Homo-oligomer: A and B are copies of this chain.
């Protein structure tokens, strides 16, 4: 069976487990031909999967909440990356040490919710919205900082921060989970999302998909060199020391069991509620299912 999956970014190290499962034939064992597509704008993913145009995609919890609030019936069927540290990446020389230092600064964000997060953090620090500038930078977080188009930008410590550092710029990370008192970085865990219609029609396929994906994660964690070879086979532009470094920094965050964690969904649900992007507060359980994950269920 032929299944397109829309990634949330160009093929990069944090997709390695999916790539490995594809390249090593783990999906094929279950007769699954997984076609990996890349967006040019990460904000397209929930719209496309939410309209049932592509059956599967990758996104974070906040996007699931927002999509459902907008009438797109998507659910997470598993986690592939667990709580990668996320925050405002800023060159040390910019002098931004915490949120109260953003006055007069240009702050980059990927899609619409990055701006919502920045504005909420500013509000809680009693900083007026017109005293800082937000810039939507899409997939160019690292280059926007390197080229001094922004003074800080939201990104991952194991990805964009390394890109900036490798360009010779010393940086600081102001973690959003700490600034927002979340207690974990689960809001940026990366999930496999699917349209409810697809989920209802393809139970067995999804079970097989998750089985094969877990095998891909296992190989990635146990044989990273072999896994990196798979990755650069699919995107040879990553065959350089920078992306090898990003890959090594990403290794600790591959989810070892793919589970959706109820506690994390609740925590991020409360956060999404505070950010004003939740229509039905409290309805966290409709956003995910662990039904297709081939191990002991939680809860």
Contacts and interface: CB of A to CB of B under 8 A. Distances in A.
Contacts of A233: 140
Interface in A46-85: 47-48, 51, 53-54
Contacts of A39: 35-38
* A contact face: mostly helix, strand, loop, or mixed: mixed
A236 B4 CA distance: 25
Contacts of A2: 47, 51
Contacts of A35: 39-41, 44, 47-48
A170 interface: no
A234 interface: yes
A6 interface: yes
Q: What 6 A-B pairs have minimum CB-CB distances, sorted nearest first?
A: A38-B38, A143-B236, A35-B44, A36-B40, A140-B236, A37-B37
A11 to B, nearest CB: 6
Interface of A: 2, 4, 6, 10-11, 35-41, 44, 47-48, 51, 53-54, 138-140, 142-143, 233-237, 239
Contacts of A10: 10, 38, 235, 237
A259 B81 CA distance: 46
Contact of A48 (B4, B11, B41, B235): B4
A47 B35 CA distance: 10
B37 A44 contact: yes
A6 B37 contact: yes
B4 A53 contact: yes
A235 B143 CA distance: 10
- Of residues A2, A40, A235, which shows the largest number of chain B Cβ atoms within 10 Å of its Cβ? A40
A35 to B, nearest CB: 4
A243 to B, nearest CB: 11
A143 B38 contact: no
A110 to B, nearest CB: 13
B53 A40 contact: no
A40 B138 CA distance: 20
Contacts of A51: 2
Contact of A235 (B40, B234, B236): B40
- Of residues A38, A138, A143, A237, which shows the largest number of chain B Cβ atoms within 10 Å of its Cβ? A38
Nearest to A39: B37
Contacts of A44: 4, 35, 37
Contact of A236 (B47, B53, B54, B139): B139
Nearest to A146: B236
Contacts of A143: 236, 239
A12 to B, nearest CB: 11
Contacts of A48: 4, 35, 37
